[in-house]
């Protein structure tokens, strides 16, 4: 009689999602979109909630911080942070996409020398204007620009300001340069490569891109997907950084027991000592991270984005 019971396929068995908090520093592999990498990590951790912090194209690799659980409340701070890249740029060739995945548009002779290249690179330091590429995830009327680009439709884009903190030449040979770039959020390295090529009179496109840092997170701290897959769940959890590492640049304030209690109830509180203006990382006397607060004009610290009580207890 049991033979008549329906059989459950392995693919139909749902993994139990669980609350887990922290930041995973993933070395995003080549060929994965940021969202594909995110979904893979979320599945490996059986996490109920996860989000990434700054899109990397499938062509790009490197530092992709993934926030799990309560860390997602602070993901925007990493999205907005400065980032560092190493880019390989091919001069003398332009493509439809601005990178190696596109079709060749133009071929031009490369006539500059290394000294001239360095001089042009320095022209791009500081505040510059960029026109976002058509092959990007920016939205127009609810659809990504790359959707229009693939259909052969050109959408007018406004130039926007980005900041290049530092740009340097690492190596140059036979029309190919390796450059390192530290820049503000919203900078398109593909567009930067194209603009440098235009300034040199020969055009250029991006051959490869690797993000080596986001905020204070460095490529040496990352782990690859293959390594994560070989680990047990417990070993994966050991790779997670604490939630508050996502906002380490923000000043820290430790509250006494009474102030911490009332802040967690949503009330502004007094705290002795000199309190810096702006956002504040808030901790209790046991050095447990409580969340973000800010200094009000009246001198009280008000809650801005707090961890759930269950998360505070989980992360002792």
Q: Which CATH class is domain 83-214?
A: alpha beta
Residues 286-313: b if buried by 16+ CB within 10 A, e if exposed: eebbbbbbbbeeeebbebebbbeeebbe
pLDDT of amino acid 310 = 87
> Which range is least confidently modeled, 168-177, 179-188, 304-313?
304-313
pLDDT of amino acid 95 = 94
Q: Residue 7: pLDDT above 50? A: no
Domain with CATH 2.30.130.10 in the chain: 250-314
pLDDT of amino acid 154 = 66
Identify whether 80 is a catalytic site residue: no
Domain with CATH 3.30.2350.10 in the chain: 16-81+217-244, 83-214
Percent of the chain surpassing pLDDT 70: 88
Per-residue pLDDT, averaged over 111-127, amounts to 97
pLDDT of amino acid 5 = 39
Per-residue pLDDT, averaged over 28-46, amounts to 95
Per-residue pLDDT, averaged over 64-76, amounts to 96
pLDDT of amino acid 16 = 76
Per-residue pLDDT, averaged over 194-204, amounts to 97
Q: Residue 3: pLDDT above 50? A: no
Q: Residue 91: pLDDT above 50? A: yes
CA–CA distance, 115 with 2 (Å, rounded to integer): 80
Fold of the 16-81+217-244 domain: Pseudouridine synthase (3.30.2350)
Q: pLDDT tier at 159 (50, 70, 90 boundaries)?
A: confident
pTM metric for this prediction: 0.88
Of 21, 27, 57, 244, the active-site residue reads 57
Q: Residue 144: pLDDT above 50? A: yes
How many Cα atoms are found within 13 Å in the side-chain-facing hemisphere of 16? Answer: 3
Pairing of strands 279-283, 252-254: parallel
- Considering the four listed CATH numbers 3.90.1150.10, 2.30.130.10, 2.40.30.110, 2.40.40.20, the one that applies to the domain covering 250-314 is 2.30.130.10
Q: pLDDT tier at 300 (50, 70, 90 boundaries)?
A: very high
Compute the 3-state secondary structure of the chain and give helix, strand, coil in percent, each to the nearest 5.
30, 35, 40
């Amino acid at each position: 009689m049991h033979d008549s019971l329906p059989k459950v396929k392995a693919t139909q068995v749902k993994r139990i999602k669980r609350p887990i908090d922290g930041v995973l520093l993933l070395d995003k592999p080549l060929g994965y979109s940021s969202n594909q990498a995110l979904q893979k990590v979320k599945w490996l951790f059986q996490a109920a909630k996860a989000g990434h912090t700054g899109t990397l194209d499938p062509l790009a690799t490197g530092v992709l911080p993934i926030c799990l659980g309560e860390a997602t409340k602070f993901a925007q701070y990493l999205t907005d942070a400065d980032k560092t890249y190493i880019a390989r740029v091919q001069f003398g060739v332009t493509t439809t996409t601005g990178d190696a995945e596109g079709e060749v548009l133009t071929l031009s002779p490369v006539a500059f020398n290394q000294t001239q290249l360095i001089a042009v690179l320095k022209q791009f330091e500081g505040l510059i204007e960029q026109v976002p590429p058509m092959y990007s995830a920016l939205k127009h009327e609810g659809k990504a620009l790359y959707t229009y680009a693939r259909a052969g439709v050109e959408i007018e884009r406004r130039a926007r300001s980005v900041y290049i903190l530092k740009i340097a030449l690492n190596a140059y040979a036979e029309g190919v340069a390796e450059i390192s770039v530290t820049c503000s959020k919203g900078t398109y390295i593909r567009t930067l490569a194209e603009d440098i090529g235009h300034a040199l009179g020969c055009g250029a496109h991006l051959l490869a891109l690797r993000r080596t840092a986001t905020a204070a997170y460095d490529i040496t701290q990352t782990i690859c997907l293959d390594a994560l897959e070989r680990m047990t769940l417990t070993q994966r959890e050991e790779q997670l950084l604490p939630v508050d590492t996502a906002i380490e640049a923000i000043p820290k304030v430790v509250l006494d027991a009474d102030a911490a209690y009332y802040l967690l109830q949503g009330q502004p509180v007094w705290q002795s000592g000199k309190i810096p203006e702006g956002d504040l990382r808030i901790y209790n006397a046991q050095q447990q991270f409580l969340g973000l607060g800010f200094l009000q004009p009246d001198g009280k610290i008000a809650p801005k984005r707090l961890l759930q009580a269950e998360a505070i207890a989980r992360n002792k």
